[in-house]
Structure 1
Amino acid sequence: MRRLILLVFVAILLIFPQNVFAQIYMTDKLITIDIRAQTLNAWEGGKIVNSSRVSTGMYYTSTVKGVFKIYKKYDLQNMKGHYPPYEPYNLKNVPKVMYFYKAYAIHGAYWHNRFGYKVTHGCVNEPVAFSKWLYDWAPIGTSVYVY
């Protein structure tokens, strides 16, 4: 596990300029989302403090990759949209919504249990119990690294 973490840090150093690396990893709290593994890790003080399987975007509605910050939070929010070729959706009372880039958010999902699979319209879905923990743990301004 330590070797994997070290490899991730080295890869980030090689991919991103030094100032971006410092911007993400010198913060106290960090959320990392691994699209390939469909996992989310919550980091504090350089250590993983919690993690969960998640669901990210499908082929035509993939989750955006990059380094972001949580900029808005809602305890509950209604969400609707239509992204062809997929069916439209209209979800009421989506729990623990945290926006990190434009309309991309990390939030709880009560309507499915397919965590570990790419099933969303671009958002990062997480189990409701985990979403409550993450929402309380991560303040606005928390760094989010999606890769």
Structure 2
Amino acid sequence: MISALAALTIGEYWLLTTNALAQPTLPNLIAQEIDNLKQSDRSWVEIDLSDQHLFAWEGKNQTFTAIISTGKAKTPTNIGIYTVQRKYPQDRMRGSDYDIPNVPNVLYFDRGYALHGAFWHNNFGTPVSHGCVNLPVSNAKWLFDWAKIGTPVIIHQ
């Protein structure tokens, strides 16, 4: 694609340089992965940070939606392409300024970051977490029962 190349003029000649090729960006890779998943029959989770919603999909068919709370500006939820790595019916979550036992329906997708139920607040629709994706407990239970280890989790703006 010519628009991805830089053109230099040397005298009367045009020289196309390959070192100026546009590198794939994370948003472009995420969009491509969403397209791929919609053309499959796989179950997958979409997190839309811009409108604080989670969507569960079976290929191109949306099967569930929930309002969520993701990370605050100082502790953001990172965009990216992940998978459910571990599942716990409940777990203890700790950080420098919190220690919450019995967090329900925990689906870890990136190191200590998880999709999980939150019984300690009702501010869904507003970023309030330390980077995890908080759901109302009943919605977290539905997601926990539906998602399997390896289910893709796509997080975007």
TM-score, scaled relative to structure 2: 0.77
After superposition, the Cα gap between the structure-2 partners of 1:49 and 1:79, relative to the gap in structure 1 and judged at 3 Å, is same
Return the offset for 1:125. 0.1
| Relative contact order higher in (CA < 8 Å, ≥ 6 apart) | 1
CA shift digits 1:119-141 (9 cap, x unpaired): 00000000000011000000000
Query: Normalising by structure 1, what TM-score?
Result: 0.82
Indicate which of 101, 104, 120 corresponds to 2:110. 101
Q: Which residue of 2 aligns with 1:70?
A: 84
Hey, what's the Cα distance between the residues in 2 that align with 1:139 and 1:43? Answer: 13
- Kept after mapping to 1: 8 A contact 2:37/2:60: no
SS at match of 2:81: strand
Q: Deviations along 1:47-99, whole A, 9 cap, x unmatched? A: 111100000000110001111100101001011102xxxxx011010000001
Q: 2:21 — aligned with what?
A: none
**1:39 lines up with 2:48 in the alignment:** no
Cα deviation for residue 24 of structure 1 reads 3.9
- SS of the residue corresponding to residue 74 of structure 2 reads helix
How well do the aligned residues superpose, as a CA RMSD in angstroms? 2.1
What runs of 5+ residues in structure 1 fail to find an aligned partner? 1-13, 83-87
Q: How does 1:109-128 map to 2 (within 5 A)?
A: 109-128=118-137
Runs (5+) with no aligned partner, structure 2: 1-26
Q: Quick one: percent identity of the two aligned structures?
A: 41
* Separation (CA, whole Å) in 1 of partners of 2:113 and 2:135: 13
Q: 1:108–1:69: structure 2 CA closer, same or farther, 3 Å change rule? A: same
The residue identity in structure 1 corresponding to 2:82 is: F
Q: Aligned partners of 1:94, 1:48: CA distance in 2, in Å?
A: 26
- Structure 1 position 22, deviation (Å): 6.5
Question: Residue type matched to 1:80 in 2?
Answer: R
Q: Report if aligned partners of 2:81, 2:154 keep a CA contact under 8 Å in 1.
A: yes
What is aligned with 1:16?
Answer: 29
**Greater fraction strand:** 2
Q: How many residues align?
A: 130
> As a proportion of its length, which structure holds more helix?
1
Q: Does 1:29 align with 2:43?
A: yes
Greater gyration radius: 2
| Contact 1:73 1:99 (C-alpha < 8 Å) held by counterparts | yes
- CA distance in 1 between counterparts of 2:65 and 2:30 reads 27
